[in-house]
Amino acid sequence: MDAIKDKVRERYGKIALTGNSDCCCMPGECTTGDTPADAARLIGYSGEDLKSVPGEAVLGVGCGAPINFAGLGDGETVVDLGSGAGIDAFLSAKRVGSGRVIGIDMTDEMLEKARRNARDGNYANVEFRKGDIENNIPVGDNTADAVISNCVINLTTDKTRAFREVYRILKHGGRMVISDLVTDREVGRDEVDPDRWCSCIDGALTRENYIESIKRAGFQNVSVLDERAYMDGPESGGRRITSLVIRAVK
């Protein structure tokens, strides 16, 4: 599993340096020549939102748009897990106004890109910190009003441990709103393909097990806010992959 984590770091470090050539949108919807912005629109981001953030923050690597469901308000503190080049952190910054946003990523190249985007866009209420979300999110206990994440929890090797970290940093009554992928059949460790893990496929849990891992971390009122078919065929190893937006409360 350490090798998987190294592979994830390598893959997303390369995307930060060279851009995303895969688009990561749903099969049959992306076409040759589509840009990361095209992919972002397909998974739920509005054209207005995409124009409002630095262009280099848009990498098109998510599987949904949890920002649309987070209900962020002025003065709130938001933590964005797996913040990448910063798209959700910057969109959150506009919504929380006098509040603040903390982006967490474990990839040095992504952090450098996000910090540069923040400087260029004059986002005074956004900061980015390096951290491993399943071992130690570098945020104090009971800090966040909301935690968001876009197709990142599935990159971890211990989902419940990651959700416990999210639970720790949330205030009482705080909410987690995340997009992620679930599968109709989990793979055994001897079946894991590192490239498919990096695409959030081989690390996917079934819907039932994913929701149960959230509940085991202590969350209540777990609900699915949005659901869409994502992948079904050879690219997914013959499994059916579904994208969910999930909300849960501490």
- What domains appear along the chain, each with residue ranges and CATH number? 2-249 (3.40.50.150)
pLDDT higher than 80, residue 105: yes
d(CA 57, CA 67): 15
d(CA 163, CA 215): 9
- The pLDDT confidence band at residue 12, using thresholds 50, 70 and 90, is confident
Average pLDDT over residues 212-233: 92
Of all residues in the chain, the percent with pLDDT exceeding 90 is: 61
pLDDT in tens, 233-246: 666 677 788 999 99
Q: Angle between the 108-121 and 2-18 helix axes, to the nearest 10 degrees?
A: 40
Predicted confidence at residue 92, as pLDDT, reads 98
**Parallel, antiparallel or unpaired: strands 220-232 and 240-249:** antiparallel
Average pLDDT over residues 154-176: 95
Average pLDDT over residues 127-140: 95
- The pLDDT confidence band at residue 27, using thresholds 50, 70 and 90, is very low
DSSP 135: T
More confident call, 210 vs 186: 210
d(CA 173, CA 168): 12
For residue 51, the surrounding DSSP H or E stretch is helix 47-51
**Parallel, antiparallel or unpaired: strands 77-81 and 100-105:** parallel
pLDDT higher than 70, residue 179: yes
What count of other Cβ atoms lies within 10 Å of the Cβ of residue 227? 14
Of all residues in the chain, the percent with pLDDT exceeding 70 is: 86
pTM for the whole structure: 0.89
